[in-house]
Amino acid sequence: MSENQMKDRIAEELKKAKEVGRISSEKVSEIVKSAVSDAVAETKDGVEDLRPVVKDAVAAAVEGLKESGSDAKEIVEGTVHGAIAGARSHGDQALKATRKEIRNLETQLEENKTKLAQSLKEALTGATEAGSLLSEDLKGQVDSAVANTKLKSTELLGLTKETVKEAVKQTIASGKNVKETVTHIAANAAERALEEGRVTGDRVKHITQNVISGAVEAAEEAGKGVKDAATGAFEGVQKGIAASVDAVGDKTKTFLREDFAQTKEDLEAMENLFIDSARKVARRSGEKAKVVLDDLADHSKKTSSVLREKALNTGESAAGRLKEVGKKAGKASAEAVGKAADVMTEEAKQLGKISLSMAKGAISGMLKGAKDALKKDA
């Protein structure tokens, strides 16, 4: 559909609507949206074509409504809203389809992770059975190798929390160097778990909560060592995440370009994600552990930490890698941002004025209502 055909269509449909007395903001919006949507669907040049299409649609609609006798402001609003909705309709549909595809992929990912965990369990069982057929000495070596493999795959096997819990229980029972030992247990557990996949914000939250919860629950069930267990777990997880973050710099070399941006974003938020996760564990823990974890979180917020420094450094490295891989795209994006900066500033000012005006209107209405109420009471 050419732009002239779109304009003629809008004019014709508005004329018909006026003849049957159905001119309203909603009807105008519907007519303009449909015409613009169809016009955009037939364009080949993409985004660049949107501006003239919307411009012509709004102009045609306003021109066709001059003699309508309807509320001008509402009609114009309906026209603009319809044109914008039509312009973005295909983009909205594409976005909806992509989101659906992502949901399907996430479901498939979870199914594949479950299958992988089952495969690993079967393989480990097979190795153990093979060991049982060997001499006692060799059987011990096979069992040790199986145990080490399980330890490296606790997150995949869903054993991270329980593994930490058992290790901390034994530590508390021994009564020796509880805090220091728990710190090492937590650091190793967090680092191992993160090594099983990408270092993302969601995985950091999940692993942090599992490790700290496991340590705190072990101490609370034992009825002692809560402060040492909570402190050791907090500091250990922080170290474990920091060690994993430190390794991200090399790993990012194998990521797709799109992944760099997400990696950088997750890294910059890493410290806050860790602290928020620790606080979440605190909320569902006993009073003693809650106080310890909240104090540690508060202190961590106020001071610099190894995790924060490593996350920021690695985030900068990821940004550098992103720039290196996508120089041309980055340049084009920078130019576009530069050109849009002034427009965005003006838009922000305009929207700020509207927002302020609305706030003033609301306050004015409240004051008027109060004054009216006082008059009635007088």
| Three-state SS letters, the chain | CCHHHHHHHHHHHHHHHHHCCCCCHHHHHHHHHHHHHHHHHCCCCHHHHHHHHHHHHHHHHHHHCCCCCCCHHHHHHHHHHHHHHHHHHHHHHHHHHHHHHHHHHHHHHHHHHHHHHHHHHHHHHHHHHHHHCCCHHHHHHHHHHHHHHHHHCCCCCCCHHHHHHHHHHHHHHHCCCHHHHHHHHHHHHHHHHHHCCCCCHHHHHHHHHHHHHHHHHHHHHHCCCHHHHHHHHHHHHHHHHHHHHHHHHHHHHHCCHHHHHHHHHHHHCHHHHHHHHHHHHHHCCCHHHHHHHHHHHHHHHHCCCHHHHHHHHHHHHHHHHHHHHCHHHHHHHHHHHHHHHHHHHHHHHHHHHHHHHHHHHHHHHHHHHHHHHHHHHC
In sequence order, the 6+-apart residues with CB closer than 8 A to the CB of 180 are 232
Looking at residue 206, its pLDDT comes to 92
Here the tokens at position 278 are 């620790």
CA dist 34 to 21, 186, 345, Å?
20, 59, 32
CA distance 252 to 348: 36
Angle at the Cα of 283 from the Cα atoms of 268 and 192, rounded to 5 degrees: 50
Q: Tokens 């997400």, residue?
A: 262
pTM attached to this predicted model = 0.58
d(CA 296, CA 275): 9
**Whole-angstrom Cα distance, residue 219 to residue 216?**
5
Matching residue, tokens 């509880």:
178
Query: Is the alpha carbon torsion for 111, 114, 119, 120 positive or negative?
Result: positive
Position 171 scores a pLDDT of: 92
Tokens representing 124 are 């480990």
Encode the chain (378 residues) as per-residue pLDDT tens digits. 576 788 888 888 888 887 787 778 888 899 989 988 888 887 665 566 778 888 888 888 887 777 555 556 777 888 899 889 988 888 888 888 888 898 888 888 888 888 988 898 899 899 999 999 999 999 999 988 988 888 878 888 888 899 999 999 999 998 888 999 999 999 989 998 888 877 788 888 999 999 999 999 999 999 999 999 999 999 999 999 888 877 765 554 444 334 444 555 666 677 888 899 999 999 999 999 999 999 999 988 877 566 766 666 665 555 555 455 445 544 544 555 555 556 555 666 566 656 666 666 776 676 666 666 666 555
6, 36 Cβ separation under 8 angstroms: yes
Half-sphere exposure of 192 (CA within 13 A, CB side): 24
Cα–Cα distance for residue pair 50/86, rounded to 1 Å:
10
Per domain, the residue ranges of the chain are 3-101, 155-332
Quick one: angle between helices 160-174 and 226-251, nearest 10?
Answer: 140
Of 186, 207, 217, residue with least CA distance to 286: 217
